[in-house]
Amino acid sequence: MAGLRQTPLTCSGHTRPVVDLSFSDITPFGYFLISACKDGKPMLRQGDTGDWIGTFEGHKGAVWGATLNKDATKAATGAADFSAKVWDAEKGEELQSFAHKHIVKSVDFSADSKTLLTGSNEKILRIFDLQKPDADPKQFLGHTSNIKAVHFNKECNQVWSASDDKTIRVWDVNSCKEIHCIETPSAPGSLELTSDGSIFTATYGNFTVFYNAENFEKIKEIKAPAPVNTASLHPSKNFFVCGGEDFKMYKFDYYTGEEIESFKGHFGPVHCVRFSPDGELYASGSEDGTLRLWQTTVGTTYGLWKCVAPDIDGTDTNSTPSATTPGTAAATEAVKVES
């Protein structure tokens, strides 16, 4: 029997480009996935299958950033209507809305879900106290262009930000002062922190770059064949995936920098990618308006994927899996097997 071919689950439902996504941690009910889309309707899905759970309705513009807290009880979104919103992820209800003076591009919860970090085209980072929503937020000033991504460190005493001013900056939460600035050759894209809090992953140009989250030193950078917009390091830290302008998903060895494999499934540039908390799959969002779920190890039975043997006569036995869209039911599909 010949090798297996990657067949992603396609999660339909959005009508415009998918620009951000985030997984929760593993909860007693599994783990969950939220997606931000320019259609203004962020969606919540079951993380391992992509099954649609619900849509958060309330924004009046493109949603640029979306995240879940660790236990998936709350969601946060940032949008072109100059607001960041916090939602009850179990009921779908809007809990709080925080006005800004420009587009909110990125949001992140603190580890205890008590504060919300935002980054916007105002060139300002803000931290809102969700227990005192009427209080003035902390503000971090220094960027000279749009802020594209923000993230708390593990201890939540620092925040990281990436901006079109070609810098990645680190800020002290208590003093609201900049404590470190990393200059990049071109505007950085995504920011991701490993689950153990040790490594920040960022992208710029054709490069995925890794930084020590404690001393801010660059650990390494690895070049891809095309410009990359986003990258995610596997929980094992043995390899990472990235995607960008050539529509492909790439997997690289973290230690050697060698390309392990690449897959083309999207029909537009890839804007966001993240590994699931168990590392069994990674999700990507694209200009083509879809989310796709990819197996970390092709051929394992997991979620909606089921590894099957080919028919005796050598014919291909299965079809491309597709996660459910709003109002439809799920059916178990199989990974494509070539013989």
- Running DSSP on this structure, what letter comes out for residue 322? B
Please state which of the ranges 64-73, 165-174, 183-192, 315-324 shows the lowest mean pLDDT.
315-324
Q: Give all domains of the chain, ordered by start, each with its CATH number.
A: 11-295 (2.130.10.10)
Q: Which residues contact 210 (CB under 8 A, 6 or more apart)?
A: 199, 200, 201, 202, 218, 219, 220, 221, 233, 254
pLDDT, one tens digit per residue, over 290-309 is: 999 999 998 888 999 887 65
> What is the model's pLDDT at position 312?
42
Confidence check: pLDDT of 7 > 80? yes
Closest CA to 8 of 338, 302, 297, 295: 295
311: left (phi over 0), alpha (psi -120 to 50) or beta: beta
Confidence check: pLDDT of 332 > 60? no
Confidence check: pLDDT of 316 > 50? no
Confidence check: pLDDT of 273 > 70? yes
Cα–Cα distance between 40 and 54 in angstroms, integer? 14
Confidence check: pLDDT of 333 > 60? no
> What is the model's pLDDT at position 334?
28
Confidence check: pLDDT of 313 > 60? no
The residue-averaged pLDDT of 139-150 equals 97
> What is the model's pLDDT at position 149?
97
H or E element, residue 264:
strand 259-264
Report residue 78 as tokens.
Answer: 């940032």
Confidence check: pLDDT of 208 > 90? yes
pLDDT, one tens digit per residue, over 15-55 is: 999 999 999 999 999 999 999 999 999 999 999 999 999 99
